[in-house]
Amino acid sequence: MELYFLGTGAGMPSKERNVTSIALTLYDERGTMWLFDCGEGTQHQMLRSPLKASRLEFIFITHLHGDHIYGLPGLLTSRSNQGGTTPLVLFGPPGLESLLEPVLRLSQARLSYELTYREIHEGTVYEDDRFEIGCELLDHRIDSYGYRIVEKDKQGKLDASRLKELGVPAGPLYGRIKRGEIVELPDGTIVDGAACIGAPIPGKKIAILGDTRRCGAAVRLAAGADVLVHEATFDATLDELAQTYYHSTAKDAALTAASAGAKSLILTHISSRYQEDEVTRLLEDAREHFDDTHIARDHWSYTIG
């Protein structure tokens, strides 16, 4: 499971950073990829990356500002030309479908796959036997959501040494015991499968937030997360400006991570005023309050766990 940053800039692209788009690769878990936001030029960034649009399963949009959605028409149509045939689900705030459908219709875009829209509201937006994804409304100029991705706990490992002590012969009985069944051995010994399986393996927790000022919803979404991805548009000296434009400073992001008990923090959505080594100001601001902080850059990846 890996985060791959296709765009890490704020508002508009710069020479160093494209606008927001983050991929979560789940190749081992389900053979697919999820995308969070899709700013203008995302399809170009993907061409320069190891990612393939054909493997997209879900796209999650945090809010309807242009630097988070203007790349959708191009990416959706290019996916057809790049061999994408599997269904794609687009999650987003109210208004996303009415904004996007006229563009696809008037441009006579032909999609080779089924595209489904799912309008999000606070609460669980998707759940299966492996993952649960929820969202909450953040504090921004327009409705902006943060997502919490929770991988459900996995079954513990079979205690092979314990089975050997009990004299369980290798073969089909191992499978039954792994399912937690109670089995009887040829000599009459009763083995409780549940007692031969280790503790559940905790799943990973990830929080990916849209644009926001510091707020309680961000802390709840990031509670105990393995990694929090948080905007850091400004440095701490521009706190008043951040408040005025409903954005966060790097310090705000760090305080949120610390309050939430997150393990790692990744800063993104960086203003174009911070070019080259100037981004170290953001990192220094954040690390005063949260040590395990990283600053994302375009085409940088982070392995979770």
pLDDT at 180: 77
Helix (H) or strand (E) holding 191: strand 190-192
Question: Domain end: 196, 218, 253, which one?
Answer: 196
pLDDT at 184: 81
pLDDT at 48: 96
Question: In the predicted model, what is the mean pLDDT of the chain?
Answer: 94
Q: Does 159 belong to an annotated binding site?
A: no
Cβ pair 146, 208 in contact under 8 A: yes
Residues 6+ apart with CB under 8 A from 32: 26, 55, 56, 57, 58
pLDDT at 213: 97
Domains contained in the chain, number: 2
CA distances from 80 to 39, 126, 198 (A): 19, 25, 45
Residue 113 predicted with pLDDT over 90: yes
Q: Does 140 belong to an annotated binding site?
A: yes
pLDDT at 169: 77
If asked whether residues 102 and 228 sit together in one domain, one would say yes
Residue 232 predicted with pLDDT over 90: yes
252 carries an active-site annotation: no
Q: Does 269 belong to an annotated binding site?
A: yes
Q: Does 67 belong to an annotated binding site?
A: yes
Q: Does 68 belong to an annotated binding site?
A: yes
If asked whether residues 144 and 173 sit together in one domain, one would say no
If asked whether residues 220 and 117 sit together in one domain, one would say yes
Over range 44-54, report the average pLDDT: 96
Residue 181 pLDDT level (bands cut at 50, 70, 90): confident
Percent of the chain at pLDDT exceeding 70: 100
If asked whether residues 295 and 183 sit together in one domain, one would say no
Residue 1 predicted with pLDDT over 90: yes
Q: How far is Cα 211 from Cα 23, in angstroms, rounded to an integer?
A: 17
Over range 156-181, report the average pLDDT: 77
Question: Domain end: 196, 221, 247, which one?
Answer: 196
pLDDT at 239: 96
pLDDT at 165: 77
Residue 121 pLDDT level (bands cut at 50, 70, 90): very high
Residue 115 predicted with pLDDT over 90: yes
pLDDT at 161: 79
If asked whether residues 236 and 268 sit together in one domain, one would say yes
Under DSSP, the state recorded for 218 is H
Percent of the chain at pLDDT exceeding 90: 81
Q: How far is Cα 7 from Cα 9, in angstroms, rounded to an integer?
A: 6
pLDDT tens digits for range 239-292 = 999 999 999 999 999 999 999 999 999 999 999 999 888 999 999 999 999 999
- Identify the CATH number of the domain in which residue 137 sits: 3.60.15.10
Domain that holds residue 236: 2-154+200-303
If asked whether residues 250 and 298 sit together in one domain, one would say yes
Strands across the sheet containing 265-268: 123-127, 131-137, 145-151, 205-209, 227-231, 265-268, 293-295
Q: How far is Cα 302 from Cα 195, in angstroms, rounded to an integer?
A: 36
pLDDT tens digits for range 54-100 = 999 999 999 999 999 999 999 999 999 888 999 999 999 999 999 99
pLDDT at 164: 77
If asked whether residues 147 and 240 sit together in one domain, one would say yes
Residue 173 predicted with pLDDT over 80: no
Residue 132 predicted with pLDDT over 80: yes
26-35, 170-179, 237-246: the lowest-pLDDT one: 170-179
Cβ pair 227, 303 in contact under 8 A: no
If asked whether residues 187 and 263 sit together in one domain, one would say no
- Choose, from 28, 37, 67, 153, the residue flagged as catalytic: 67
If asked whether residues 97 and 61 sit together in one domain, one would say yes
If asked whether residues 185 and 294 sit together in one domain, one would say no
* Residue 123 burial (10 A CB sphere; 0-12, 13-18, 19+): exposed
Over range 146-167, report the average pLDDT: 85
pLDDT at 199: 80
pLDDT at 189: 82
pLDDT at 154: 84
If asked whether residues 131 and 227 sit together in one domain, one would say yes
If asked whether residues 169 and 51 sit together in one domain, one would say no
Helix residue ranges per DSSP H, the chain: 27-30, 42-47, 66-69, 72-81, 96-106, 160-166, 172-178, 216-221, 239-244, 250-260, 280-287
Cβ pair 258, 222 in contact under 8 A: no
**How much is the pTM?**
0.90
